[in-house]
Amino acid sequence: MSAHSLIFGKRLRAFVKRGQVSVRPSSKWNERTSELVRISTRVASAAEPPLTSRRQSSSRSFFLYRLHRELIKRIFDIVFSLLVLILFSPVYLLLILAIALSSSGPVFYSQTRVGKNHQLFTCIKFRTMVSNADEMLVELMETSPLLRQEFEDNFKLKQDPRITKIGRFLRLTSLDEFPQFWNVLKGDMSVVGPRPLVVEELPKYGCSIDKVLTIKPGITGLWQVSGRNDIPYHRRVQIDVYYANFHNFWLDLWVIIKTIGVVFVPKNNGAY
């Protein structure tokens, strides 16, 4: 059968299936039409793989693509984190000393965050607040309805009296997140990813949270290089969902380059 006949047969078969042609064997023309439909059906069925097979092939290709992408991301995370921790170890030690001398309390601050697939992990940061920060927060919430509303909306306070002097510098430059490279090596986090969320934030993401938590949270990300806390909360959710859908190696590289600029030129980066 010629290609033209095959193509015509497919179109005709579809046309008949839509109910726009009534095939009655009593008509000579319709007898030929019926035969052509039957022939084209057999030829098309032999030439095309079954629908189930195509779906399985598509699913397998997508799985392999995701596996390949995740493997590249994991290798990059390990190599990059080791380089940063080794090359900037003097800075790391200086920051530890500065925090220890500036105020009483531990050098590191640990907090439970929600990671990939809703798994909880301990996120490590340099301490930027006074040691009794949690007690102060409760007191602030009770005495100031405005501060309470601000914290409930953003989970942060723009003028937070609990932050130490060295802590303000660390937050402005994002150096308070330096210890999280250990979280990356452990596999809890990635260098680039959505914001690591606390449990209380999950309801704000609505049905989008399941998509965001399909990948690991990051030390930096699109939110961090796009204005951070100056961005409305609903926009932060959109940014995290976008990254979860479209992240790739080149986007990660662009975010890292932008992050370097935020660290060295921290003016008006929305961090507080």
The pLDDT value given to residue 227? 75
Q: What is the mean pLDDT of residues 75-104?
A: 93
The pLDDT value given to residue 29? 41
**136-145 pLDDT, tens digit each:** 777 877 777 7
Please say if the pLDDT value at position 78 is more than 50: yes
Express as a percent the part of the chain with pLDDT over 90.
Answer: 42
Amino acid identity for residue 116 in this structure: K
Q: Between these two residues, 123 and 131, which has the higher pLDDT value?
A: 123
CA–CA gap between residue 218 and residue 189 (Å, rounded): 6
**165-213 pLDDT, tens digit each:** 899 899 888 899 999 999 999 999 999 999 999 998 899 899 999 999 9
Average pLDDT, the chain: 78
Q: Between these two residues, 128 and 59, which has the higher pLDDT value?
A: 128
CA–CA gap between residue 262 and residue 271 (Å, rounded): 10
- Does the predicted model carry a pTM greater than 0.75? no
Per-residue pLDDT band at 36 (split at 50, 70, 90): very low
